[in-house]
Amino acid sequence: MATLQDPYKGFRFLVQIDQINQAGFMECSALGSHLEVIEYREGGDPKRVRKFAGKASSPDVTLKLGMTDNMELYTWHINNVNGVMDRRHGSIVQLDDTGSEKLRWNLYNMWPSRWDGAAYNAKGNELSIISVTLSYEYSEMA
């Protein structure tokens, strides 16, 4: 008989990016892959539509973190803005309650396509949060 296993907690994760030493990511958007659906109608029967797999794509990943004086992500983004394409590999790692690695998604040929600075409000008491969107070519679960 199979034993029930508790699901992993969404707040127990790591983000690893080649040559980036940034800690404390507070949020990571969902990973995934999508296949374009191509519909093909056979003959004159409007009810007879076949579906084929088309182009595969991966949605961008958005990371959020508290702002510090660490400029590595911003510098990486600005270098790409200035035409120096710097693609890197990285991973999103799911941890269990003990901090051990359980699942890993490897992302290939990433580059920061968007960097959003913190919003400020003198009446609030929230942390300054930045957002970085990473575009990548493909991913695989390891």
* Residue extents of the structural domains in the chain: 13-32+60-141
Q: What is the pLDDT of residue 43?
A: 81
Q: Dihedral angle at the C-alpha atoms of 137, 23, 130, 98, nearest 10 degrees?
A: 80
Does residue 1 have a pLDDT over 80? no
Measure the CA–CA gap between 14 and 103, rounded to whole angstroms: 11
Q: What is the pLDDT of residue 101?
A: 93
Entry pTM: 0.85
Could you tell me if 116 and 129 are in contact, meaning their C-beta atoms sit under 8 angstroms apart?
no
Does residue 112 have a pLDDT over 90? yes
Does residue 23 have a pLDDT over 90? no
Strands of the chain (E only): list them: 13-17, 25-28, 34-41, 49-57, 61-66, 88-95, 101-116, 129-135, 138-141
Higher pLDDT, 47 or 8: 8
Token digits of residue 2? 């199979």
Q: How many helices (H) and strands (E) does the chain have?
A: 1, 9
pLDDT in tens, 28-60: 998 988 999 999 988 877 788 899 999 999 999
Measure the CA–CA gap between 131 and 64, rounded to whole angstroms: 5
Q: Which CATH number fits domain 13-32+60-141: 3.40.50.11740, 1.25.40.10, 2.30.110.20, 2.40.100.10?
A: 2.30.110.20
Residue 48 C-beta-side C-alpha neighbours within 13 Å:
4
Indicate the pLDDT class of residue 132, thresholds 50, 70 and 90.
very high
| Helix, strand, coil abundance in the chain, percent, nearest 5 | 5, 50, 45
Q: What is the pLDDT of residue 65?
A: 94
Q: What is the pLDDT of residue 114?
A: 97
pLDDT in tens, 85-95: 999 999 999 99
